[in-house]
Structure 1
């Protein structure tokens, strides 16, 4: 197989490649060779090892942490408001043509994104003329306000990272059963959405209820408490807006459920689909300007 070009999503922990012909993926591969495991000089070898399953030396368009200051080569942030793909892709040194999509930044309040801008561009490419808020759940969840094809503003919440720390390293780890309890999740979302100032004390009730009554559903309730607090903080973004949630896994479903309970009109989309659509848009833009 000889791809026309290669789409690359290179994050902190994973490297994902798609062999592409135009906008159609022909094959895909994934490696445990994220930015966090590599020095700048090791990126070309990691890319060639992963891409060697395909013939040729097709050019690459990459997004994600590969363009961070600690990555292969820095692709400087572009300030919003701007298009999610504002141009100015950065060439990476190495034996193959590699172009890296820049991230976006916001001055007030200070915020940055890297990788999510490509998913936003992909969603807009698949949904022409769409205005509203795009929620991108993850370790650091992004809320992105888009209008007239531009990113107007955005806000990051560290909910995913807080969930991991509390469920794995705090005293709450002893009460994290694997039971999925939708009712407990819904109640917890409602609790912190209405009273976010009680989050710190509400968290300890998970441990106390387990010790005193053997209550289950601790993991679901923890997720609900944190997402409810996040919804309270980001209410100016999603209230009265149509919302697109990127991701169809457990995280995406949790955000969609919490938002739907508040009457927000939610569309849920596959993350791979919008990532590929965004990288394809970047590829076409790079060819048009070549």
Structure 2
């Protein structure tokens, strides 16, 4: 997707701002998506003064110039290095934990930008920004949900939800480890950008689950097998992914064991996680991340409108 060029009058605008990309949606009065756009202006590439121009480049065609349009933003825009730092709600707590939204400074009087808080966990230390909004969306969709949510990504999160609260969560740097090992270690001689093998992935997951203490040795085995037995680049990539996802599944067992599991995502990565969980006899349900983020930001908007109606600050 690219920044929107067609004019669409949004009732409000939803934004998920990550380190490498920003996704935005023009939303109607019934929280229906009217248009969407994506920008490569991730938070890691922007200084605070560049966030507003990057946002306007993406959403300008959705603004009704006769009124102020509310923009609700979650993700790394609220980080210390982002647009405006927002606080963390401490778990266990509902998403946002009752904390107010933070209004970002803007020069354009046609928008009002509200940045959502993140969540923190003190023991063991962990943080999230953006994922808590998807959790709010899941709770909005399934108010009685009691289980664990897996959000695959560069930093995959496992989140335990019960009674409308985020009870605890754990972050695994599996995606980042895959990127580092495939691009910057001796394994990069074995990898390329194409090719894949489900069979190699499944076998590596099973090996990792059975003997997680052997994963460091098996990682070099990928290089050795490529040299000695012509292991293909696609099989090499699948084995590396399977070994890393396998140790994550093993390490996250206290989260998923005996619980209802929701897997967020429709990507190939999410499908790989579904395969890995299936090897443990698990059948996670799938949720669309766009639906959850719109529902979560919509819940934040509803709370803000309620506080405006009662004259309180929110």
Q: Which residue of 1 aligns with 2:4?
A: none
Instruction: Check conservation: 2:204, 2:240, Cα contact below 8 A.
Output: yes
> What SS does the corresponding residue of 1:97 show, helix, strand or coil?
strand
- 1:83, distance to aligned residue in structure 2 (A): 0.5
Backbone CA RMSD of aligned residues = 1.2
Matched, 1:265 2:272: no
Instruction: Check conservation: 2:274, 2:283, Cα contact below 8 A.
Output: no
User: Which stretches in structure 2 are left out of the alignment for 5+ residues?
Assistant: 1-7, 309-314
Q: Which of 17, 25, 28 is the equivalent residue of 1:18?
A: 25
Q: Which residue of 1 aligns with 2:244?
A: 226
CA distance in 1, matches of 2:274, 2:286: 7
Q: Which residue of 2 aligns with 1:125?
A: 140
Q: Which residue of 2 aligns with 1:75?
A: 86
Q: Which of 272, 276, 293 is the equivalent residue of 1:275?
A: 293
Q: Which residue of 2 aligns with 1:41?
A: 49
CA distance in 1, matches of 2:258, 2:283: 9
Q: Which residue of 1 aligns with 2:40?
A: 32
Q: Which residue of 2 aligns with 1:64?
A: 75
Deviation digits for residues 128-167 of structure 1, max 9, x if unmatched?
3111000001110000000011000000000000000111
When structure 1 is superposed on structure 2, of 273-282 and 140-149 the one drifting more is 273-282
- The number of equivalent residue pairs is 290
- 1:179, distance to aligned residue in structure 2 (A): 2.9
- 1:265, distance to aligned residue in structure 2 (A): 3.2
CA distance in 1, matches of 2:118, 2:199: 38
- 1:41, distance to aligned residue in structure 2 (A): 1.4
TM-score (norm 2): 0.89
CA distance in 2, matches of 1:285, 1:6: 15
Q: Which residue of 2 aligns with 1:91?
A: 103
Q: Which residue of 2 aligns with 1:254?
A: 272
- 1:269, distance to aligned residue in structure 2 (A): 1.7
> What SS does the corresponding residue of 1:48 show, helix, strand or coil?
helix
Instruction: Check conservation: 2:12, 2:27, Cα contact below 8 A.
Output: yes
Instruction: Check conservation: 1:11, 1:66, Cα contact below 8 A.
Output: yes
Q: Which residue of 1 aligns with 2:307?
A: 289
- 1:100, distance to aligned residue in structure 2 (A): 0.8
> What SS does the corresponding residue of 2:62 show, helix, strand or coil?
coil
- 1:61, distance to aligned residue in structure 2 (A): 0.6
- 1:191, distance to aligned residue in structure 2 (A): 1.0
- 1:206, distance to aligned residue in structure 2 (A): 0.5
CA distance in 1, matches of 2:215, 2:289: 30
Matched, 1:201 2:201: no
> What SS does the corresponding residue of 1:280 show, helix, strand or coil?
helix
Deviation digits for residues 66-125 of structure 1, max 9, x if unmatched?
000000100111100001132321111113211111100000000000000011111221
- 1:198, distance to aligned residue in structure 2 (A): 1.0
Q: Which runs of 4+ in 1 moved over 4 A?
A: none
CA distance in 2, matches of 1:74, 1:47: 17
